Amino acid sequence: MPSACLRVLLLACGLAQLTGCALLGRPAPDPPLECRDVVQALRQKEGLVRTVTDAGVRLRVTAREDGEPRRYPSLGAVLAFDSQKPGLWLRGEKLGHEVFSLRALGERFWVAVHPSRLVMTGGPVAYAKLPRYFLRPAEVQGFLAGPDWLGLSWTTAQMTVGADSYRFDVHLMDTLYRTVLVDRRDLVITRISAYDVLGRETTRVELSDHGPADGTLFPRRLTVTRPQEGITLSLRLRRPKFNKELPLSIFQPIRLDGYEQVDLDSPSVGRIELVEPE
What are the pLDDT digits (tens) for 60-91? 999 877 677 787 778 999 999 998 888 999 99
Query: Does 168 fall in a domain?
Result: yes
Look at the pTM and tell me if it is higher than 0.85: no
| Alpha carbons 99 and 61: distance in angstroms, whole number | 14
CA angle (230 as vertex; 58, 73 as ends), nearest 5? 30
Number of domains comprising the chain: 1
Instruction: Examine residue 186 and state whether it is found in any structural domain, yes or no.
Output: yes
Strands (E), the chain: 51-65, 68-71, 75-82, 87-94, 97-105, 108-113, 118-122, 157-161, 165-172, 175-183, 189-195, 201-213, 216-226, 231-236, 241-242, 260-263
Residues 6+ apart with CB under 8 A from 227: 200, 201, 202, 204
Separation CA 152–CA 160 (nearest Å): 12
Per-residue CA distances from 137 to 37, 220, 225 (Å) = 29, 17, 14
- Is 19 among the domain residues? no
| 62: nearest Cα among 137, 132, 141 | 132
pLDDT score recorded for residue 71: 79
Band of residue 277 on the pLDDT scale cut at 50, 70, 90? low
- Examine the pLDDT at 237 and tell me if it is beyond 50: yes
pLDDT at position 84 is 86
User: Residue 10 — pLDDT band, cuts 50, 70, 90?
Assistant: very low
What's the CA gap between 85 and 252, in Å, rounded? 11
Let me know if residue 269 belongs to a domain. no
User: Secondary structure of 192-236 in the HEC alphabet?
Assistant: EEEECCCCCEEEEEEEEEEEEECCEEEEEEEEEEECCCCEEEEEE
- Domain housing 199: 51-263
pLDDT at 73: 79
What pLDDT does 23 receive?
A: 45
**Is 21 a residue whose pLDDT tops 60?**
no
**Considering only CA atoms, which of 106, 69, 111 is closest in space to residue 92?**
111
For residue 91, the tally of other CB atoms under 10 A from its CB is: 19
Query: Which amino acid appears at position 203 of this protein?
Result: T
Here the CATH number for the domain that contains residue 55 is 2.50.20.10
Q: How many CB atoms lie within 10 A of CB 63?
A: 18
Q: Is residue 15 part of a domain?
A: no
Nearest partner of 231 among 210, 205, 250, judged by Cα: 205
CA distances from 33 to 39, 51, 218 (A): 10, 29, 21
Q: How many CB atoms lie within 10 A of CB 86?
A: 19
- Cβ 222 vs Cβ 143: under 8 Å: yes
Q: What is the mean pLDDT of the chain?
A: 86
Residues in the chain: 278
Domain-located, residue 11: no
Is 12 inside a domain boundary?
no
User: How confident is the model over 94-151, as pLDDT tens digits?
Assistant: 988 999 999 999 889 999 999 999 999 999 889 888 887 788 888 888 777 889 989 9
Residue 99 lies in a domain: yes
